[in-house]
Every structure is written in C-alpha cells, then in structure tokens.
Amino acid sequence: MSSNINKIGKSTVPRTAISTSDEHSITVRGQDLCRDLIGRISFTDYFSLLVTGQRPTKGDAMVLDATLVAIAEHGMVPSVQASRMTYAAAPDALQGAVAAGVLGCGSVILGASETAGQLFAEVHAGAGTGDLEAAAAKVVRRWREMGRPVPGYGHPLHKDRDPRVAALFRVAKEAGTSLRFVEIAEAVERVIPEVVGKDLRLNVSAAIPAVLLGTNFPLRALRGVPILARTASLIAHLTEEAVTPSGFALSYQATRELIYEGDK
Amino acid sequence: MSSNINKIGKSTVPRTAISTSDEHSITVRGQDLCRDLIGRISFTDYFSLLVTGQRPTKGDAMVLDATLVAIAEHGMVPSVQASRMTYAAAPDALQGAVAAGVLGCGSVILGASETAGQLFAEVHAGAGTGDLEAAAAKVVRRWREMGRPVPGYGHPLHKDRDPRVAALFRVAKEAGTSLRFVEIAEAVERVIPEVVGKDLRLNVSAAIPAVLLGTNFPLRALRGVPILARTASLIAHLTEEAVTPSGFALSYQATRELIYEGDK
Amino acid sequence: MSSNINKIGKSTVPRTAISTSDEHSITVRGQDLCRDLIGRISFTDYFSLLVTGQRPTKGDAMVLDATLVAIAEHGMVPSVQASRMTYAAAPDALQGAVAAGVLGCGSVILGASETAGQLFAEVHAGAGTGDLEAAAAKVVRRWREMGRPVPGYGHPLHKDRDPRVAALFRVAKEAGTSLRFVEIAEAVERVIPEVVGKDLRLNVSAAIPAVLLGTNFPLRALRGVPILARTASLIAHLTEEAVTPSGFALSYQATRELIYEGDK
Amino acid sequence: MSSNINKIGKSTVPRTAISTSDEHSITVRGQDLCRDLIGRISFTDYFSLLVTGQRPTKGDAMVLDATLVAIAEHGMVPSVQASRMTYAAAPDALQGAVAAGVLGCGSVILGASETAGQLFAEVHAGAGTGDLEAAAAKVVRRWREMGRPVPGYGHPLHKDRDPRVAALFRVAKEAGTSLRFVEIAEAVERVIPEVVGKDLRLNVSAAIPAVLLGTNFPLRALRGVPILARTASLIAHLTEEAVTPSGFALSYQATRELIYEGDK
C-alpha cells in the first residue's frame, strides 16, 4: 500500500492534550473556551495556558508579558525587511509576508534565547547548591571547546548592556518570581572576559531566558517567545507597508553599492 | 547599474513611523521601550500600540484580547497538521514549522475575518443612519452577483451559531465598545436565508470584525488577528509535538484510504 | 467527534493520479520511476510529465527549458535579498531561506506570468478566427475598466523590450511550437499605447505564457514555472551566501537612509 | 543611527559573482543570458552553472538529472500533504503552498542527502589511498559515539535496498563519472550491521551524494537537490489540487482516530 511510506516512527495514532470540541463547545486545556476563557483571560495568559497546560501566576504572567514586549520590535531589522519586501512583491498574501519574517527567527538572531536558556540550565544543574561563578566558567569553557558561541552576550549597537536587560530584570524583581537564572546570567557575564577574552555584556536574548526560567515557562518553548512577539511586530510593519510602502525602497537601497565580482 | 532593477515603485527611500533606536534607547511609537513599555503594558496592548500608534482604551483592549483568545486554538485543524508534519520532518527549525502553519491562514480559512470586515464596512457605509437590514440585503446581493461567497457565516461543525459568537458579543457589551458592527453582522445573518437561500449562522470569523470594528482596531489589520492568535497555538502544538510526536502519525492516517486513480 | 471540524468540503477521501508505490517499485504517471525515468528523462521533461501526465514533445520541452532558464536569475532582486537575509539569520535551515524567497513570487513580481496567460487566453477565446488586434483592444479595455493592471508589459530597467522576450520568441520559432499566443502577446503590445496611454513593451513575464501556451503546458500551472526556476537560483545564491555572506550587508545598506517619521 | 543595528558581521558591502545586468543585457556566470543560455542550455545544466559557476560535463549533467528525477516525487508524503492542506486553506497564494512543502525538506526527511554527503566526505578523507571498509567502520563508529544517526540507510517502505539506489548507481556507471563515493556508500552499507547492529540498506538519500560527489557538484549545495526536485513535484500536486481537491480530505482522514488525552 502506498500509504506505508508515511508510517515513519513508532506511533501511528495521533494524540493531543491541548483541545477537543463537539458541536456545542470547545474545550482547551480542560476549560470551556466560550464560558471560561473568552473575555476572562488575557492573550498572554492564554498563550501560557496553551503551552504549559496551566494558568500562570500573576508574577509569571507579568514576566511573560515583559519578555514579549521586550523582543517584539527593534526597527527595520533583517527579518522585518525580508517581510516587507515579500509583501511588496506579493501583497495578496499577508500570511506569506508574515511567514517570511518568521523564517528569520533563526539560530543567529532570535533563536539565541533558546540556546542561552540551555546554557543557563547547564550552569544551574552543574552548580547545584554550590558556587555559580565556578559552574558558569566550567560550562562556558566547555561550550567554547566544542566550538559553540556563547549565545546572548554582546550586541552590535548596544555596546554597554542592552537597555532591555535592566528593564526585564527589574520586572522579575517586581513580579517576585525566582531570580536564580538572573544570577546565573550575571555569573556568566562576569566570567566571559576571562574565558572568552572579550568583554561581552548581556543582551536581550540572554535576559529573556534569565527571567522566564524563573517562572513556569518551559525551556523547550523558549524559542516560541521571540517568534510570537515578532509576529505582532511584523503585522504592524505590514499594516504600515500597505499604506506607506518601503519594501522596494529597501531593496533598491540595499544594492546601491553592490559589487559584482564574477566574470563579465 | 545592476541595482536599477530594484527601483520598483516611486519612493526610493524607506520610511517608518513605528520605531527608532540609538545606542542607549529604543523608541517605539514615541515611547521609551525600556522605561515606559516593558513591565508597564500587556502584550495585547503593545500589539495594539504597534499597529495603531496609540494605546487602546481598556474596553478596546478587552475586545482585542477576547478575539485573540477566541481564534487561537480549535484543535488539529489543517494548519496545525501542516505545522506538526513540518516539524516532524525538520525538527531543527521551529520557525519553519510555525511559518508552515501561518501559511494556512488564507482566504478560505482564517482570512474570512478580513473579508467579513470589508462586507460589514460596505453595509455600514451603505446604511448611513438608515435601515441596516435593507443595506445588508443590498450588499449581500451585490457580493453574490459578483460571485463572491459571504464570508463568516456557516460552520462545518457548529451548525447552530458557533459558540464563540455569543461569547465575543457578550464581551463587547461588557467592554462598552460600539455595537454598530455587531448589529450589522446580525442584520446580515437575518437576510442570508432569503438572499442566499440557506440558513447560515454567524461564525467566529464574522464575530471578530463585528466586535473589533467597534474599537480603534483598523479594518486593514484585521487579518493580523487570526495570524497572531494562531501563532500562539502553533507554538503550543509544536512544544507538544517535541514531546508527544503526532506529525508522522497524522500523515500516516491521512493516506490510509488514499485512492490512486492514475495509470498503473 | 473532534475531527468533524476538518470535514470541510465535499469529498472526505483523498485521491491522486500522480504516483503510487509498493515495497519494490514507484510508479509515476503510469511509468516505473527506476526503470523508465531515472537516467532516461531530463528533469525538465520530468517536470512536464509530473504536471501534465504526459511526456512533452521535443519542441514543447525546448520551450519549457527556455522559459525556466529565462526567469531563474536576475541578480539581487527583492526575493533573493529576502532569502539571503533569512539565511544569514537562520543558517541551519536552508529550506527556510528558500521558502522565504519563494514567498516573494507573488502577484506583483513573478506571478505576472499567470495573469498575463489569463489575459492572452481571453484574447484567444474572444478572437476566434477573427482579428487579434481588435480582440486584444477589447480585452485590455475590459481589464482596465475593472481596475486591473495589464500584466507583463513594462520593466523598470529594460525600457525597450526586455531582451529575454526576443530570445524566447526565437526559441519558440526554432522549436516549431504554436506561435498563436506570441501573436496575441504582440497584438496586446500594439494596442497598449492607445488603450493604456503609455508605450509599455513586452517583458519576460508576458513572453513566458506567450510561448508556453503554444505547447502542452497548462495555463493553471503557469505560476509554477517562475517558482521552480527561481528556486534553482535561490539555491545558487544561498550556496554563495554560505561562503561569501551578503545578507547582513544588504540589510545594513537598505537602512542607511531610513527616515523615521514617528514621534520621538 | 537606527540602521547600525543592522551592521551585523564584518562586511557592510554586498557582493555576488552570480549575475549582473544593464538596460540591454543580463550576464549570468560570465555568459550572456539571452544570447548564450536561453534556448542553448537545459534547465538542469543551468542549475549546475548557477551553483558551480561552470557548465557541467555531459556525464555530470546526466547524473544531476538522474538525482533530481529520483527524489522529486514519492506520492502523498508529509511535505506534499502539508502543501496541499495549505493550498486548500489559501488557494490565492500558490507560492505559500509551495513554501509550506519546501519547509518540510528538513534534517529528518530530505536533508539526509547533505549529512550522508558529509559522512562520505569524512570516509574519503580518512581512507586516503587505503582500505575503504576500515575507514568507513571508523567514521560510522565515531558518528554513533557522538549520538548522530547514520543518514541515508534504512527505509520504512523499501526494506531491501530502495529501488532508486540501483537506478542511480547504473546512471553513474553509464555517465562515466567517478564511482569513488559509490564505493564509499557501499563500504558504509557493509559495515553497518556490525557497527550499528542492524541491517540497514542504502536509500535514495545516500545514493544521491554517492553519485553527485563523483561529479563537479559541491557538497555544500547538496541539500539544494532535493529542495529543487521536490519543488517540481509540489507544483504538480498543487496543479492537481486545484482541480481534484484532497487537502481537506487528507486533514479529515488524519484526525479520524485522534485521541484527546487532556482534561475534559
């Protein structure tokens, strides 16, 4: 049978614990969408409920809101440019232009939140109840030996600490969530000059896991935070693009000094 | 010069009114991101600020939150399946799987919110201070004559009114925002049996513009609401997929009864 | 049952006439992939077989090859820029960067081939055995009245006829395929100055349907030609990007003259 | 200045050796597109020229054609399903549905060609002029110790050798290109039972680099081959979908046995 080619992996029956529905109701994470959630819960709390299966505490939600606000918008960055150029070329398909922007949330730019979170989780496990700075030095050294960059430190524009870092740390303090991973992030920052040989300061991509890992938000969903946040900003940019087009102007400017170095 | 091929359209200088930054600060819609926004504004309010340039009123924000919650999740719908299959095949690229899901927010499924909004705007303009039902009948008839479907009415599962409709209308009343477009949506529902010949009830895709057009949220950004909402749900599904894989099982089930009708 | 939400549309059993397989063989369009196709057919012929169900004649294949070669590459156009920026941000996911570039094959830029083909099909049907120029003038006038642009005429760089036009027309003559739609395309070009009021010359997007509609290639697959062609070019650009990065440089240049016109 | 945020990486001037153009001509890899390439070169040869900068020999082109034909189509696989579902939901944006399918060309499914190529390159370098089987055993053992799967061996449907393998090897012999990497691929197959403990046979994803690395096609562009090939097939499936819709039927079937295991 042709369909056997799709029998990849072990289970052949799909499962989900997120939601179900019948003709009269929709159940999400055990709650009635229309009665318990619409109008009763903010979108941020709902995002947390969808991902974790539980409503966040007030503090957890404050921190999640702050990280989404912090990372959503930073001007005409490459993913916004890609999105606006795509919209200019294909204005009938807003979803395509959003998707093109989302595709730029990769390992080099917005994905650093997730890898910084993994680094912090290793320091957390390695330190136990012991010294954070020693554990941080050990982990950073190990990552460097494996040829992995240290994610979340240094910024091409914000040479001092990225101003979003202090704002996020302030919110975590106000929210009363665990500061364990904030301390780890700062321990890593202190050991970087010696281990890496450069004075790289915390940027927003490290600050996000530093505050979120002190809440109920899971490490493995971390990359979702910049993706969701950036989607909000892409929609704003594309709404602007529909009225004040910049997509082709960006593309024109981008190639004004283009060097052709092939054969003529 | 090679770059001239990119000189498409009139303006060659890109412009934006959304944000700017320097080494020490990031300004978004005239506000200091780190001082005024992070920890001071919810993600929903920030989305509204990004799109419209203004903070929403409390009522406007309640309605926007409700629409985002209403449309985010409805189980293993086609776009979620496409996203989970993509993740199963390419687990290193979460952003790619999210993008694949976003690409299914098209004219047939999640894009109906925008076209329903256009329909309502035509009824609104046509009615002026006059009778809504007469204006609705006129507009629906015109759309039918042009061969356009009436977006936002009828649902394959929810034969009575989609339960999300009442929930959204309730929130709009509680929020105290304008009910003008709710009345228009209901006027359209009343004229459909006669004009279209079928008894199609309001679904969530019509309810969203019905409540949002009574706030400061612009018609031209309407399609962004289901896209942003669905992105939250896609991230939840992909976080689940990483632990409880269903992508390949969905694909296996999908083709169990596949009929090959080509030559052998 | 939850799954009823997916019962959209009439048929609930999927069908395909493209291919089937068992443990020992793969059948594509009625032919044995391993015995009859691999090593026996060019990729271009195979593309035609996949789309149409039949092997192209030698002339049909010559024309299809020529159109794919004509439209694949034209330097650092917006979709290539979007793709290279996406790769720079997410180098682990080549498929994501290709997808970002493909998303720019929209109605404004590469989609014009399909709409030009529709225009020509209307002229063809309208003319019957009669005068092409009169039929062309009628159709172009009708499109203009509906507010639709005339696709495939005019080019920002190539003010005279796009040089690819003559090359494609030459190939169609050499290949001996029908020149009916080439004549239609030229008839449209001749009536444009009077009907549109501007002297817009044929560009490659009109030349592609002009030659392809004279072969066995179907109108409804026309948009696939620039998409497939551009994919080849995107892979070349991304292979270059991996060695000679330009993605972030393009993005830097693009915003050097960026004007912020929002509040401070 | 705002734009400094885009000054990522070292070079701020973009460069390319692929193509350039002026008002009257387009130069690709040093050749005049309209005079030397359109109608003079097949799409496969042009793909090779774009990627490598040189026209392939006749043998190199035969092998590249064969790999593109071998990997383009294998029925309703997950990426085709994702693409057809996306098209059903968003039929106005063919490019979006193609992109959704391309996004499934990831590390698990179609990306194995590239990683198998890396494995073979390591065996090639390790063996020098010495014994291939010993070098293969060493490299496979090292990959297993690092927890990496051995890419390109084993297939859920084709338990014996995937039939495409013999077809590709036959073409390489007929084409007279180097068989060095075919020998390496077979050496790896012979050592797998002992090193891995399972009898996994060569599949198409290993056969592709086995034949292509014996031509002028570069290792780092290998992943482009399944992406380009699959794009041709996606266009065929979407052309079929437009006439014989299966997207929603696939989605309906996929969830018929869906298990909801969350709270009620």
Which of A14, A19, A260 lies nearest to residue D20, judging by beta carbons?
A: A260
Q: Measured between alpha carbons, how far is D19 from C205 in angstroms, rounded to an integer?
A: 19
pLDDT at B1: 35
Region of poorest pLDDT, from A43-47, A173-177, C161-165: C161-165
Is some CB atom of chain A closer than 8 A to the CB atom of B134?
no
Substitution target in D86, D87, D250 with the highest count of B β-carbons within 10 Å is: D86
The better pLDDT of the pair C228, C155 is held by C228
Is some CB atom of chain D closer than 8 A to the CB atom of B258?
yes
Place of tokens 């034909």: D69
Residues of chain C neighbouring B14 (CB-CB closer than 8 A): 254-255, 257-259
Tell me whether residues D99 and A95 touch, CB distance under 8 A. no
Amino acid at position A104, single letter: G
Is some CB atom of chain D closer than 8 A to the CB atom of C179?
no
Q: Measured between alpha carbons, how far is A140 from B256 in angstroms, rounded to an integer?
A: 49
Would the pLDDT of D64 be above 80? yes
Q: Do B103 and B81 touch, CB atoms closer than 8 A?
A: no
Q: Measured between alpha carbons, how far is D88 from C11 in angstroms, rounded to an integer?
A: 13
Instruction: Please name the residue of chain D whose CA is at the shortest distance from the CA of residue A10.
Output: D156
Rounded to 5 degrees, φ, ψ at A11 are -75, 140
**Residue pLDDT, tens place only, C115-154:** 999 999 999 999 999 999 999 999 999 999 998 889 999 8
Contacts 24+ apart (CB under 8 A), C48-51: C48/C216, C48/C217, C50/C18, C50/D72, C50/D73, C50/D232, C50/D233, C50/D235, C50/D236, C51/C217, C51/C218, C51/C221, C51/C224, C51/D235, C51/D236, C51/D239
Question: Which chains does D contact via 3+ CB–CB distances below 8 A?
Answer: A, B, C
Tell me whether residues B163 and A24 touch, CB distance under 8 A. yes
Residues of chain B neighbouring C30 (CB-CB closer than 8 A): 262-264
Is some CB atom of chain B closer than 8 A to the CB atom of A21?
yes
Angle at alpha carbon of residue B24, lines to B19 and B28, rounded to 5°: 20
C200 domain-assigned: yes
Is some CB atom of chain D closer than 8 A to the CB atom of A260?
yes
What is the interface pTM, i.e. ipTM, of the complex?
0.95
- Percentage, residues of chain C above pLDDT 90: 84
Tell me whether residues D77 and B21 touch, CB distance under 8 A. no
Question: Which chains does B contact via 3+ CB–CB distances below 8 A?
Answer: A, C, D
> Averaged over A208-231, what is the pLDDT?
97
Instruction: Please name the residue of chain A whose CA is at the shortest distance from the CA of residue B248.
Output: A8
Tell me whether residues C42 and D34 touch, CB distance under 8 A. no
pLDDT at A9: 60
Tell me whether residues B90 and D105 touch, CB distance under 8 A. yes
Residues of chain A neighbouring C254 (CB-CB closer than 8 A): 76, 81, 250-251, 253-254
CA distance C91 to chain B (A): 10
Looking at every residue in chain D, the average pLDDT score rounds to 93
Is some CB atom of chain A closer than 8 A to the CB atom of B196?
no
Neighbour-count burial for D162-186, b at 16+ CB within 10 Å, e otherwise: bbbbebbbebbeebebebebbbbbb
Is some CB atom of chain D closer than 8 A to the CB atom of C112?
no
A156 domain-assigned: yes
- Of C234, C231, C226, C230, nearest in space to C111 by CA: C226
D198 domain-assigned: yes
Q: Measured between alpha carbons, how far is B228 from A236 in angstroms, rounded to an integer?
A: 11
Looking at every residue in chain B, the average pLDDT score rounds to 93
Which of C19, C73, C243 lies nearest to residue D75, judging by beta carbons?
A: C19
- Output the CA–CA distances (angstroms, integers) from residue D77 to B89, D11, D70, in the order listed: 10, 41, 15
Please give, one letter per residue, the 3-state secondary structure of D93-160.
CHHHHHHHHHCCCCCCCCCHHHHHHHHHHHHHHHHCCCCHHHHHHHHHHHHHHCCCCCCCECCCCCCC
Tell me whether residues A255 and D14 touch, CB distance under 8 A. yes
CA distance C259 to chain B (A): 5
What is the tally of structural domains in chain C? 1
C217 domain-assigned: yes
- Of A67, A71, A82, A70, nearest in space to A238 by CA: A82
Is some CB atom of chain B closer than 8 A to the CB atom of A19?
yes
Rounded to 5 degrees, φ, ψ at B63 are -70, -45
**Residue pLDDT, tens place only, B95-149:** 999 999 999 998 888 888 999 999 999 999 999 999 999 999 999 999 999 989 8
* Residues 6+ positions from A220 with CB-CB distance below 8 Å: B239, B242, B243
pLDDT at D3: 45
Instruction: Please name the residue of chain C whose CA is at the shortest distance from the CA of residue A99.
Output: C100
Instruction: Please name the residue of chain A whose CA is at the shortest distance from the CA of residue B62.
Output: A39
Tell me whether residues B14 and C257 touch, CB distance under 8 A. yes
D99 domain-assigned: yes
Q: Do D140 and D195 touch, CB atoms closer than 8 A?
A: yes
Would the pLDDT of A27 be above 90? yes
Would the pLDDT of C58 be above 80? yes
Looking at every residue in chain C, the average pLDDT score rounds to 93
Q: pTM of the entire structure?
A: 0.96
Farthest CA pair distance, chain A? 69
Look at residue A152 and give its three-state secondary structure: coil
Residue A21, strand partner residues: A26
Instruction: Please name the residue of chain A whose CA is at the shortest distance from the CA of residue C246.
Output: A258
Question: Which chains does A contact via 3+ CB–CB distances below 8 A?
Answer: B, C, D
> Averaged over C195-220, what is the pLDDT?
95
Is some CB atom of chain C closer than 8 A to the CB atom of A43?
no
Q: Measured between alpha carbons, how far is B218 from C20 in angstroms, rounded to an integer?
A: 49
Would the pLDDT of A190 be above 80? yes
The stretches of C2-76 forming alpha helices (DSSP H) are 43-52, 58-72
Is some CB atom of chain D closer than 8 A to the CB atom of A7?
yes
Is some CB atom of chain D closer than 8 A to the CB atom of C219?
no
The better pLDDT of the pair D10, B182 is held by B182
Residue C65: which pLDDT band, with cuts at 50, 70 and 90? very high
Rounded to 5 degrees, φ, ψ at C16 are -155, 150
Which of D16, D156, D257 lies nearest to residue A258, judging by beta carbons?
A: D16
D38 domain-assigned: no
From the number of C-beta atoms within 10 Å of its C-beta (0-12, 13-18, 19+), residue D126 rates as middle
End-to-end CA distance of chain A: give it in Å, rounded. Answer: 54
Place of tokens 């106005």: D92
**Residue pLDDT, tens place only, B3-53:** 456 666 656 899 999 999 988 899 999 999 999 999 999 999 999 999 999
CA distance B74 to chain C (A): 8
* Residues 6+ positions from D259 with CB-CB distance below 8 Å: A13, A14, A15, A16
Is some CB atom of chain C closer than 8 A to the CB atom of A6?
no
Neighbour-count burial for B11-37, b at 16+ CB within 10 Å, e otherwise: ebebbbbbbbbeeeebbbbebebbeeb
pLDDT at D10: 60
Which of B16, B98, B255 lies nearest to residue A2, judging by beta carbons?
A: B255
Angle at alpha carbon of residue D137, lines to D133 and D140, rounded to 5°: 130
Look at residue C21 and give its three-state secondary structure: strand
Tell me whether residues B89 and D99 touch, CB distance under 8 A. no
Is some CB atom of chain C closer than 8 A to the CB atom of D196?
no
Range of the domain at C171: 56-256
Q: Measured between alpha carbons, how far is A77 from B26 in angstroms, rounded to an integer?
A: 13
Rounded to 5 degrees, φ, ψ at C189 are -60, -40
Tell me whether residues D18 and C75 touch, CB distance under 8 A. yes
* Residues 6+ positions from C220 with CB-CB distance below 8 Å: D239, D242, D243
Is some CB atom of chain B closer than 8 A to the CB atom of C76?
yes
A170 domain-assigned: yes
Tell me whether residues A253 and B13 touch, CB distance under 8 A. yes
Region of poorest pLDDT, from A111-125, B1-15, C32-46, D204-218: B1-15
Would the pLDDT of C1 be above 90? no
Residue D36: which pLDDT band, with cuts at 50, 70 and 90? very high
- Of A69, A92, C143, nearest in space to B45 by CA: A69
Residue A229: which pLDDT band, with cuts at 50, 70 and 90? very high
Would the pLDDT of D229 be above 50? yes
CA distance D35 to chain A (A): 14
D13 domain-assigned: no
Tell me whether residues B108 and D91 touch, CB distance under 8 A. yes
Which of D78, D97, D103 lies nearest to residue B251, judging by beta carbons?
A: D78
* Residues 6+ positions from A6 with CB-CB distance below 8 Å: B248, B251, B252, B254, B255, D76, D77, D78
Is some CB atom of chain C closer than 8 A to the CB atom of D159?
yes
Q: What is the CATH number of the domain that holds D221?
A: 1.10.230.10
Residue C32, strand partner residues: C27
Which of A76, A233, A242 lies nearest to residue B50, judging by beta carbons?
A: A233
Tell me whether residues D20 and A262 touch, CB distance under 8 A. yes
